[in-house]
Amino acid sequence: MLIFSIFKVLHIIAGFTALLVFWIPVVTKKGGKAHVRSGWVYVWAMGAVAISALVMGIWRIGFDPQKTGESVAFAWFLIFIAILSSATAWYGIRVLRYKNRKAAHRHAIDLLFPALLLLSGGAMSLYGASIGFTLLTWFPFIGIFLGASQLWYWLRAPGRKLHWWFEHLGGMLGCCIATITAFTVFGAPRLLGLSSVHPLVWFMPTIVLVPCIIGFSRYYQKKFNQSKSV
């Protein structure tokens, strides 16, 4: 129980750090000191979030003497959030590491994360449907989509210039979706003294941030094209 409490505190601190820091690299100059430093703070915070979530989820499922059907379902969701956040953050970093590649990329470590995200998304969705849990039924489709798109990116030669830039943006914003969703599911109800929130609220980060990813991508694509034509 002491270990669980320690990881819970770590999870809360790291989660709030990630929520506060994430917006700095979004609004600051790309590639600048503020962008890079705050970005790494965010990545390390999300690493702590993922590890602590995984530990707490496993403890709830396997060792909690007071576990219930509902607590086990939320524990599986916590584990899935850990996979989603770590996979997208890793992807956002690695696309920068291999931004100059000209051919397909088949490093096992870079294919493992999206494959795990894809498979776990499918498994979680089936599990959610079997127990009638709306969040676990539909939210994992985000993981299925992201896992499949990441594999598609790695296993093909790059199809456009600055491909790594757009993939980095999508990876980090996808990680943000996991962060904010976890907060709306676990943190917000407790801070507001509510037993739960409406299922629509669970999907609000996705509803809001997916158009942001599309919008940012189109904006910078247009900006880069204009820069080339000058």
Indicate whether 190 pLDDT > 90: no
Query: What average pLDDT does range 165-170 have in this prediction?
Result: 85
- Other beta carbons less than 10 A from residue 46's beta carbon: 28
CA atoms of 59 and 75, how far apart (whole Å): 9
DSSP secondary-structure letter at 29? P
Segment of 171-180, 200-209, 215-224 carrying the highest mean pLDDT: 171-180
Encode 101-140 in three state secondary structure: CCCCCCCHHHHHHHHHHHHHHHHHHHHHHHHCCHHHHHCH
Count of CB atoms within 10 A of residue 181's CB?
24
pLDDT score, position 77 = 87
Q: Looking at the whole model, is its pTM more than 0.85?
A: no
Are the CB atoms for 80 and 140 separated by under 8 Å?
A: yes
Would you call 31 helix, strand, or coil by DSSP?
Answer: coil
What residues have CB less than 8 Å from 205, skipping those under 6 apart? 176, 177, 180, 181, 184
Quick: pLDDT tens for 74-132: 899 889 989 998 999 999 999 999 999 999 999 999 999 999 999 999 999 999 999 99
Domain boundaries, the chain: 2-229
